[in-house]
Structure 1
Amino acid sequence: MNATPLVKKPKIELEAEEDEEQEKEGAEEEQNRKEQEEALLALIQHRTKEVEHLRQRITYYKSQLDEAEKRLEDTQTKLARHRGQDISMDSETSGNITKESQCKPQNLGRDTIKSSGDNLNVSQKSASASHQNGESSRSQIQSKSQLLIRSAVTPKMEESGNKATNGSGSLPGTSVSTHINSTAKQKGDRARKLSSVQETMQSEPKGKKAKLEEKEHKDLIPLISSCSSSSPIRCHTGCLLSSQHKRKLRSLVLCPTNDQLFVTSALDGLVNLWQIQGRGSGANLLSTTECQSNKQRRWPEDIAWHPQGNKLFSVYAADGGDSQISILNLNKGREGTRVSFLEDKPHIKGIINSIIFMPSDETRFVTGGSDHAVVLWTEQDTGGGSWKPKSLHRNFHSSAVMGVAGMRHKNMVMSVGADKRIIGFDVMSGRTDYKHQIDSKCMSILTNPSDFNLFMVQTGTPERQLKLFDLRIRQTEIHAFGWKQENSDSQSALINQSWSPDGLYIASGSADPTIHIFDIRYNSHRPSQSIRAHQKRVFKAVWHHSHPLLISISSDLNIGLHKIL
């Protein structure tokens, strides 16, 4: 058989094809160059706006600094004048008291007993007794602010059977005051207890009240995983208190305006209000309130403080037409009127897993539930009794929404679900601005208090439970770390985390009786340190925002106060 000879393409055709390929490559290179140029131009525009914004902030804060310095000088001048007046008044008063003590010793004793027995006006009536002991008028002012807290604590100490002791800060005649208080307790201890809590909430000492002001953004993302060694904290774990709950604890939340107050809730449906003593040496129970839902008598699934610090918002479940949101007003005296329920019920079914107020906006909060819905609630009046719900989305998650959070620098609501999805919803435009799906279910989300682009998601990935993300970078995580559990292989959604106030550390509970601390600067995937703090699993450990203190709750029904040294 004769083989058919191969026909070669003419040289002209080959050259034409090569020219076409070169043209295509050139066009692709030109397209890539244009895209890169556009991206760089956009980045330059963004950086330019950022520089302009920072310059404006610098100018603003320079003017604020000048005004603050002027106010400081004025206050120092007033203090100097006040001290001069006090010295002259003290000299005159001491002479008068000497004369009166020589003439009327019996009346002076009666005045002392009377001033000791009056808890509410003791700061005014004990002025003469303070002068007798040689105290200055400045110590009187300090004792007045301390007494507000003391009077709120005394009812609970008496109720629990503890004896009041005379410490270094006790006022004259404390033993007489204790006797009179014990007599008054028989007449109305419960009413007095509620009024003392109301007094504590309304009359917070100025030194103990945190300012509600906008926080400054700090760029912490470049520090993540930048060090080969961690910076461990020294922690003393000596103080464990009974939570006074009969069933497992569920929530632990710090007051945003008063650094002495925090609340706990449990499966018994009770919400306990606590007051920290000293800088974390102990805590006293101020009040206990029943916060069960109306129909199903369910416990609060999650709790959020109102940014003003005077109310607590709790979420429940949507099954059986039950109430979904309750408001506990801590300023109301009568216990039966302290808890109210919102009428609207926007969630369709299942547990409402999360509630949080939007940053820098006390008129709006967000809830996420097992019905896949994320709901934005807006206050309708200044009294805080009417809130209007609006469903942001119900179909972006295919499973339960486990956690919600608000971004500080954008009007965006973040949500995470058991469907492994992370959704960022822009409230103003009404559309999704961030989407990401990871390899395991999500159980909670926390935004960093310092870097507004950084957030953490708790996942079900073993030994990589906590993942860090940058809002500006899509489809990737910055870093991941976690721990190996001894008592359980599965990750529980009841385990929660918290950021340190500087945004550099994360504290996490675990299925073990251990608190895990993570330093985001550490390039390891393991905890920078682990603290054995309880007898059973730790549900949550919260960093105190002003004291060097960690507060934890556990299934051993105890509250842990761990001092950071």
Structure 2
Amino acid sequence: MTSNEMEDEEETLVALIEHRTKEVEHLRTRVAYYKSMLDESVNKLEETQSKLARLRSRGRVLAAIENADEEEEDCKIIKTKKRKPLLVIPKISPFGKTTEEEENEDVLIEMVCCSSSSACKISCETSSHIPSQHKRKLRNLVLCPTNHQLFVTSALDGIVNLWQATGSSHANLVNSINAASLKQRRWPEDIAWHPHGGSLISVYSADCGDSQLAILNLNDKGEEVVFLEDKPHVKGVINNVMFMPWGDNCFTTCGNDHAVVLWTEKPNSWKPKLLHASLHSSAVMGVAGMKQKRMVVSVGADKRIIGFDLQSQTPDYKHQIESKCMSVVPNPRDLNLFMVQTGTPQRQLRLFDMRLKVTQVHEFGWDQESSTSQSALINQAWSPDGFYLTSGSADPMIHIFDIRFNGNQPSLSIKAHQKRVFKAAWHKSLPLLISISSDLNIGFHNIT
């Protein structure tokens, strides 16, 4: 091993140690938090049990009084029915985690469809736009997982632009990377941001022996774009790339060849492993990782939803609907919930619970004006608190849905652009939506 290789390996190991140290610290913090929550809940339980015991003891005394003839007047008063005290449920903030309940990652399913009157009122106060600096239609919008000011856009011109938000209504262009593939000069079909924040993964096509995957480095070290030699997909477009939520750095890709591939990070490389290529009978349009079960959920144009268990190497979840599936996004808080985009008008979004293997939990949709086709490029995105969902549209609209409302219409529809909206992503710490459109502009929408 040369000295340069040793330095590279040492740098990789140091970065890995730093990542895993942060992960351990995070988990320790969570353990301490849940221990304090447990102690508090035990105290509340004991206090409630004591109140119940006192109430029952008082009830026995009152019953004795009722039986006494000389206490007849008092008995009538005691028998008067009292109104139950109102149960006050703390208000849930639409943005960010501000209550103890919001810190619990397994409570959202109890709130789905719980409101029969109306969705939580939200509004768009202001909208502003800046030119995207792209020459052709935009394709991707991805927010940085480690720096909430950074986001990237890509387009059919093959360029990936790195932006830094300077407030709630503007962003500065930091860098432009020519990420077109080597042979066919194709644009990135999809982009995922590495959890460490220093690089991007872009995917292309398996046709004509072209580059299937590239690493886009955002720092000043080495080449900006590195194309990988491995080519596990056998034909067609690679539709989606998504990092898995399991802590060890890995991501999955899926494509028109019906295949789902798991890529694992090795020193100075990524190694692919075919998970399956026969569980779908048509193009696989989207993939996502379910953290609690180490499961890869894939959705396809064959109308199938497949949950592939990595431990058993078998499909553990199977479901089929009446319409082709175009993308899947897991809920950021409830680890069992995920949303699927479908091709059915007025029922474009379907909410599923991994524990319910035979039915969906809820569905949402909107009336589409400009076209009846349901494009795979209309991507849904969760708000950080997991209660709201946005979707692009073939119309110049952003639709926002509240999963707690038992209706299926948007809580808010924003006339966001001049042409179709491809995606609207939630800022991680501000009540702000960032959107991209085929009008070649980037939109900023302040939500309250």
Question: Normalised by the size of structure 2, how large is the TM-score?
Answer: 0.77
How much does 1:379 deviate? 1.1
How much does 1:462 deviate? 1.1
SS in 1 for 2:208: helix
- Correspondent of 1:250 among 125, 135, 139: 139
- Which residue number corresponds to residue 264 of structure 2? 378
- Which residue number corresponds to residue 298 of structure 2? 415
CA distance in 1, matches of 2:357, 2:179: 41
CA distance in 2, matches of 1:271, 1:344: 22
**Residue pair 1:358, 1:366 contacting (<8 A) in 2 also:** yes
**Residue pair 1:237, 1:560 contacting (<8 A) in 2 also:** no
- Which residue number corresponds to residue 431 of structure 1? 314
Please state if 1:341 is matched with 2:230. Answer: no
**Counterpart mapping for 1:113-152 below 5 A:** none
How much does 1:63 deviate? 6.5
- Which residue number corresponds to residue 460 of structure 1? 343
1:128-169 alpha-carbon deviations (Å, 9 max, x no partner): xxxxxxxxxxxxxxxxxxxxxxxxxxxxxxxxxxxxxxxxxx
1:258 maps to a residue whose letter is N
SS in 2 for 1:398: coil
1:344 maps to a residue whose letter is D
CA distance in 1, matches of 2:292, 2:275: 19
Please state if 1:268 is matched with 2:157. Answer: yes
Determine which structure has more spread, i.e. the larger CA radius of gyration: 1
2:150 maps to a residue whose letter is L
Q: Which runs of 5+ in 2 are unaligned?
A: 1-27, 38-102
- Which residue number corresponds to residue 469 of structure 1? 352
**Residue pair 2:127, 2:169 contacting (<8 A) in 1 also:** no
- Correspondent of 1:217 among 105, 123, 146: 105
How much does 1:218 deviate? 2.9
How much does 1:236 deviate? 2.6
- Which residue number corresponds to residue 437 of structure 2? 554
- Correspondent of 2:415 among 488, 511, 532: 532
CA distance in 2, matches of 1:62, 1:562: 35
CA distance in 1, matches of 2:406, 2:378: 24
CA distance in 2, matches of 1:58, 1:507: 29
After superposition, the Cα gap between the structure-2 partners of 1:329 and 1:523, relative to the gap in structure 1 and judged at 3 Å, is: same
1:273 maps to a residue whose letter is L
1:521 maps to a residue whose letter is R
2:180 maps to a residue whose letter is Q
How much does 1:64 deviate? 8.1
CA distance in 1, matches of 2:245, 2:410: 29
CA distance in 1, matches of 2:234, 2:285: 15
SS in 2 for 1:387: strand
- Which residue number corresponds to residue 513 of structure 1? 396
- Which residue number corresponds to residue 250 of structure 2? 364
CA distance in 1, matches of 2:320, 2:185: 36
**Residue pair 1:367, 1:374 contacting (<8 A) in 2 also:** yes
After superposition, the Cα gap between the structure-2 partners of 1:430 and 1:62, relative to the gap in structure 1 and judged at 3 Å, is: closer
CA distance in 1, matches of 2:213, 2:140: 16
CA distance in 2, matches of 1:413, 1:518: 25
CA distance in 1, matches of 2:35, 2:439: 53
After superposition, the Cα gap between the structure-2 partners of 1:294 and 1:58, relative to the gap in structure 1 and judged at 3 Å, is: closer
- Which residue number corresponds to residue 61 of structure 1? 33
- Which residue number corresponds to residue 194 of structure 2? 306
- Which residue number corresponds to residue 220 of structure 2? 332
1:376 maps to a residue whose letter is L
1:264-319 alpha-carbon deviations (Å, 9 max, x no partner): 000000000000003x1310000101000010100000000000000000000000
1:378 maps to a residue whose letter is T
1:188-227 alpha-carbon deviations (Å, 9 max, x no partner): xxxxxxxxxxxxxxxxxxxxxxxxxxx8523211211111
- Which residue number corresponds to residue 233 of structure 1? 122
After superposition, the Cα gap between the structure-2 partners of 1:498 and 1:389, relative to the gap in structure 1 and judged at 3 Å, is: same
SS in 1 for 2:33: helix
- Which residue number corresponds to residue 107 of structure 1? none
After superposition, the Cα gap between the structure-2 partners of 1:229 and 1:428, relative to the gap in structure 1 and judged at 3 Å, is: same
CA distance in 2, matches of 1:476, 1:362: 32
- Which residue number corresponds to residue 428 of structure 2? 545
Question: Normalised by the size of structure 1, how large is the TM-score?
Answer: 0.61
| More RCO (CA 8 Å, sep 6+) | 2
CA distance in 1, matches of 2:292, 2:35: 23
1:451 maps to a residue whose letter is D
After superposition, the Cα gap between the structure-2 partners of 1:296 and 1:469, relative to the gap in structure 1 and judged at 3 Å, is: same
1:322-342 alpha-carbon deviations (Å, 9 max, x no partner): 1100001111257xx210011
Structure with the largest fraction of helix: 1
1:51-73 alpha-carbon deviations (Å, 9 max, x no partner): xxxxx9997436789xxxxxxxx
1:218 maps to a residue whose letter is D
CA distance in 1, matches of 2:350, 2:384: 19
1:272 maps to a residue whose letter is N
**Residue pair 2:122, 2:411 contacting (<8 A) in 1 also:** no
**Residue pair 1:306, 1:362 contacting (<8 A) in 2 also:** no
CA distance in 2, matches of 1:57, 1:319: 47
**Residue pair 2:288, 2:330 contacting (<8 A) in 1 also:** yes
**Residue pair 1:437, 1:475 contacting (<8 A) in 2 also:** no
How much does 1:360 deviate? 3.5
CA distance in 1, matches of 2:220, 2:224: 6
2:127 maps to a residue whose letter is G
2:121 maps to a residue whose letter is P
How much does 1:235 deviate? 1.5
CA distance in 1, matches of 2:225, 2:266: 19
SS in 2 for 1:275: strand
1:108-129 alpha-carbon deviations (Å, 9 max, x no partner): xxxxxxxxxxxxxxxxxxxxxx
